[in-house]
Amino acid sequence: MSKKILEVKHLQKCFGEKEILKNVSFSIQEGEVLVLLGPSGSGKSTLLRTLNGLESIQKGEIYFQGELLKGEEKQWQAIRQKIAMVFQNYELFPNLTVMENLLLSPTKVQKREKTTVEKQAKVLLERIGLGEKLKSYPRELSGGQKQRVAIVRALVMEPTMILFDEVTASLDPEMVREVLEMIQDLAKERKTMMVVTHEIDFARRVADRVIFMEEGEIISDYTAQEFFEEQKNERITRFLNSLTH
């Protein structure tokens, strides 16, 4: 039987008076790829951000590997080592080389041996064809290359789970594919991931399960097969059509 990595129960998030996440409950199993879909403003980014403490919550519980997250900063710091997040805008440090960017958290925060991390980072970069770029600065890379380095930066932390928030949204079309292929390879390796994307063909290829959100609520939580092939929800069908046409 597979193991539950993350469980969210009755989560509520407000910004001021406005309820942004309403009674959100779901869980994710080890090795599962959970794709989060929904219209703009439905709360997808906010939800991801609550999962590693970038947003506080008003109600509900988050359990990570069976442990209740109590919202203390110290616990979040530890959790962020295990739940990595990759954003739309690869926030690489511009004054550091690719390798320096990759070494920063593993050596400074995780206190791991520099040479070990360096070797690991090199292997990961070579695998995606960026072995030559170790000493380059972010400004010397294309958007797609920067985003792939940002993903490697998450991977060298050896996280238990990775959250991807529309990581291809600000890329030129010709660079989207290389980034999506990298995430697809991670899916094949059974990395536990939550992926927010508007790339629907990609979602079909990687998803084990699909959660559909609207106005801060989870409208449906289906297997990929059910979501893409079987369900007849009119709202979801309209959403899918809006992405493919």
Judged by the rule CB under 6 A, the positions of this chain that interact with ligand ATP are: 15, 20, 38, 40-46
The span from the CA of 16 to the CA of 87, in Å, is: 24
What own/partner pairs with CB < 8 Å and gap ≥ 24 does 118-122 have?
A: 120/156, 121/152, 121/156
Query: Considering only CA atoms, which of 53, 63, 56, 52 is closest in space to residue 21?
Result: 56
SS3 content of the chain, % helix, strand, coil (to 5): 40, 25, 30
Question: In terms of CB distance, is 58 or 142 closer to ligand ATP?
Answer: 58
Minimum CB–partner distance for residue 42 and ligand ATP (Å): 4
Question: Quick one: 128 or 213, whose CB is closer to Mg ion?
Answer: 213
Q: Could you give the CA distance from residue 145 to residue 161 in angstroms, rounded to a whole number?
A: 22
Quick one: what does residue 15 bind among Mg ion, ligand ATP, none, with the CB cut-off 5 to 8 Å set by partner type? ligand ATP
Amino acid at 100: E
Least separation in angstroms between CB 211 and ligand ATP: 12
Contacted by 71, from ligand ATP, Mg ion, none: CB < 5 to 8 Å by type: none
43 binds, among Mg ion, ligand ATP, none (CB under 5 to 8 A by kind): ligand ATP
Is 41 or 71 the residue whose CB approaches ligand ATP more closely?
A: 41
Nearer to ligand ATP among residue 133 and residue 209 (C-beta): 209
Cβ atoms of 210 and 37 within 8 Å: the answer is yes
Q: Using an 8 Å Cβ cutoff, are 102 and 92 in contact?
A: no
The two beta strands, 83-86 and 67-68, are: unpaired
CB of 196 to ligand ATP, least distance (A): 7
Q: Smaller CB distance to ligand ATP: residue 44 or 209?
A: 44
Site for Mg ion contains 45 (CB under 5 A): yes
Contact partner, 41, from Mg ion, ligand ATP, none, Cβ < 5-8 Å per class: ligand ATP
**Residue 93 binding: pick among Mg ion, ligand ATP, none (C-beta 5-8 Å cut-off by kind):** none
Instruction: Give the separation between CA 45 and CA 237, rounded to whole angstroms.
Output: 22
Q: Is residue 145 a contact residue for Mg ion (CB under 5 A)? A: no
Residues near Mg ion (CB under 5 A):
45
